[in-house]
Amino acid sequence: MVKTTYSNKSGLKKGTWTPEEDKKLIAYVTRYGHWNWKLLPKFAGLERCGKSCRLRWLNYLRPNIKRGNYTTEEDETIIHLIQSIGNRWSIIAAKLPGRTDNEIKNYWHTNLKKRCQHLKPKVSNSKNQSPTEQEPKPNNNISPSSQSTDSCASSTFPSQFSINTDTRKKMFDIIPEDDDFSLVDAYQLEPVNQNFWLEPYMVDIWGIHCDILVPEHDYISPVSDIELWSHCNEYFA
């Protein structure tokens, strides 16, 4: 039930993620966080779009994700919330630690919906709600002072993973728009700005060599190599 991996015309991979890609993404995000999903693939050495990386991380790679085996309590919670707020999967997922909106959505469509055909939701669709009815949206600002309420970001990474506007500007100034940013090349290049680039971080996980660029030295993750290994090994156990 996986989609075969292929490349689109822009050279970006699509379809199923390979174990090697997973390892690179885990290694990078665990160490540096997701400071910018658009740029992250270049730094992590992935031929994927940022959107794909984000989805993969949030739905399958981040720590503490529960798979399958829904409890009766979880079933009831989902059904209750569907009835009360409609198909607002992200809000429902926030009520079920370890569950992702995508997984809950699939679970609802393939299991619970059949069991609940007789139930009518009180709210049909979140997009029909007026702004006053909606819960406050999380602040997605990635400035250091802001804290995303994203179920992953807030629970997984401390605020020092965020990146401020000046840093972001520096990055856009340094990285050419059309730079394919080969990691090997990047490693061999002289840093453009010593205050910005550090030595690429290189890890060797399960015999697969991963070259990772450091986003900004002020934002180096406090995650230790032991923690990184712990998470990676937990996922690939």
Partner DNA sequence: AATTGTCTCAACCGCAATCAT
Partner DNA sequence: AATGATTGCGGTTGAGACAAT
- Interaction site with DNA (CB under 7 A): 1-4, 13-17, 34, 36-39, 50-52, 54-56, 59-60, 67-68, 87-91, 101-103, 105-107, 109-111, 125-127, 137-143, 148, 150, 153, 165, 168-169, 172
Closer residue to DNA (CB): 9 or 118: 9
Compute the least distance from the CB of residue 188 to DNA, in Å. Answer: 25
Shortest Cβ distance from residue 226 to DNA (Å)? 27
Q: Nearest CA to 101 among 133, 42, 54, 139?
A: 54
The nearest distance, CB 77 to DNA, in angstroms, is 15
Q: What does the alpha-carbon distance between residue 108 and residue 98 come to, in Å, rounded to a whole number?
A: 16
Distance (Å, whole) CA 164 – CA 157: 16
Query: To the nearest whole angstrom, how small is the minimum distance from the Cβ of residue 58 to DNA?
Result: 7
Pick between residue 76 and residue 173 the one whose CB is nearest to DNA: 173
Using CB atoms within 10 Å of the CB of residue 78, give its burial: 0 to 12 exposed, 13 to 18 middle, 19+ buried. buried
What residues pair up with 201 in beta bridges, in sequence order? Answer: 212
Nearer CB in complex with DNA: 184/208: 208
What beta strand segments (E) does the chain contain?
6-7, 13-14, 201-205, 208-212
CB of 95 to DNA, least distance (A): 12
For residue 54, give the nearest of 19, 89, 20, 17 by alpha carbon: 17
Q: Are 5 and 13 in contact (CB under 8 A)?
A: yes
Q: Which is nearer to DNA, 95 or 105 (CB)?
A: 105
Give 164 or 184: the residue with its C-beta nearer to DNA.
164
Handedness of CA 215, 220, 225, 229 (dihedral sign): negative
Element (H, E) at 208: strand 208-212
Q: Which residue's CB is nearer to DNA, number 164 or number 230?
A: 164
Q: Least distance (Å) from DNA to the CB of residue 200?
A: 21
